[in-house]
Amino acid sequence: MHNYLVVEIKFMAKLKILEFPNPRLRIKAHPVEAIDEKLNQKIDDMFETMYEAPGIGLAATQVDYHYRLLVADVSAEKNEPWVLINPVIIEKDGVEVTEEGCLSVPGYFEEVERAEHVKVRYLDRSGSQVETEFDGLLGVCVQHEMDHLEGKLFVDYLSEVKRQRIRKRLEKNRRHHSQGTAAVL
């Protein structure tokens, strides 16, 4: 008689993060209709991608999944994950200016004006409706990721001149990187 240990292994995939000026970043996300195993796998993949990038927030739009879903974790230990499904800001107040960066605009940081406090209604990973007040870094992160769900990037808060400069520099870096890669192959 043999005893066998059956182990279920769940594979997570690191997703490709779209980069500015990719037009798919401008697609407005659709509401999530069902919280099922497929969505939960996408959430796991998004967390893996965000942590590996490394980042503190990731909207589904950034990984070419155009549904109203975002993940965030601003803790130093990466042990305070947030999942917001179909988030809607229901209250906001105050103004703060903070320096922001974005996984879709790698290497660039600029000051952006956001609400100091926001109250958001959303579904959590289990499908329960929740209302949470966010402020500080997590509040900025949630607002930043919610912008992505509307097809908006933090560079949209900048002047046209700055936005064009960033676009040209990123495109030049991509061309340089792809030429370097081709030479190695």
Residue 152: both structure tokens together? 């908006």
**149-178 b/e with 16+ CB inside 10 Å = b?**
bebbbbbebbeeeebeebeeebeeeeeeee
**CATH H superfamily, domain 23-158:** Peptide deformylase (3.90.45.10)
Write out pLDDT tens, residues 35-93. Answer: 999 999 999 999 999 999 999 999 999 999 999 999 999 999 999 999 999 999 999 99
Catalytic status, residue 145: yes
Q: Please answer whether residues 75 and 49 qualify as being in contact, where contact means their C-beta atoms are separated by less than 8 angstroms.
A: no
Q: Please identify which residue in the block is written with the tokens 């155009």.
A: 66
Label the pairing between strands 82-93 and 69-72: antiparallel
List the chain domain ranges. 23-158
Write out pLDDT tens, residues 8-31. Answer: 444 556 999 999 999 999 999 999
- State the catalytic residue, choosing from 33, 100, 145, 150: 145
What is the C-alpha to C-alpha distance for residues 117 and 147, in angstroms, rounded to an integer? Answer: 16
